[in-house]
Amino acid sequence: MKKIAIACDHGGYELKLEIIKKLAELGCECEDFGCDSTESVDYPIYAEKVCNAINEKKAELGILVCGTGIGMSMAANKKKGIRAACCADTFSARMTRLHNDANILCLGGRVVGAGLACDMVELFVTTEFMGGRHEKRIALFDETRG
């Protein structure tokens, strides 16, 4: 059973609730780091919580949801050891695990519907990193990030 850290801002709250249901269906253990309503909050605070859970090995993968997924992705990718991908289609959600070994999926609650988001989540959590020629490229991420 994979352990997944999840968080959102106000723009992603409703989608986060749907994703948590999907993760339960997939047999994943999910730790919710907030937020807990549609009241306005600052997304970098929630992105950091999920990043810390991954870097501290308290979760294998993370999911971040804001209005577009872009802000969460930008905030998460500032952290060493994090490879966050903002996706809006199933092909990208699968390939970002397969080739990029992404450890956080960022989604936009105002961009994708619950059905598509849940399909992306399933692909993200069930696809394993291909390794091989991609390993040296992934290693470069942390070498080039201070």
Identify whether 8 is a catalytic site residue: no
Tell me the residue type at 49: K
How many Å apart are CA 79 and CA 52, to the nearest integer?
9
What value does the CA radius of gyration of the chain take, rounded to a whole number of Å? Answer: 14
How many Å apart are CA 113 and CA 135, to the nearest integer?
33
Catalytic, out of 8, 28, 35, 66: 66
How many Å apart are CA 42 and CA 9, to the nearest integer?
7
Query: What 3-state DSSP class applies to 115?
Result: helix
How many Å apart are CA 40 and CA 83, to the nearest integer?
26
Identify whether 66 is a catalytic site residue: yes
Residues identified as active-site: 66, 99
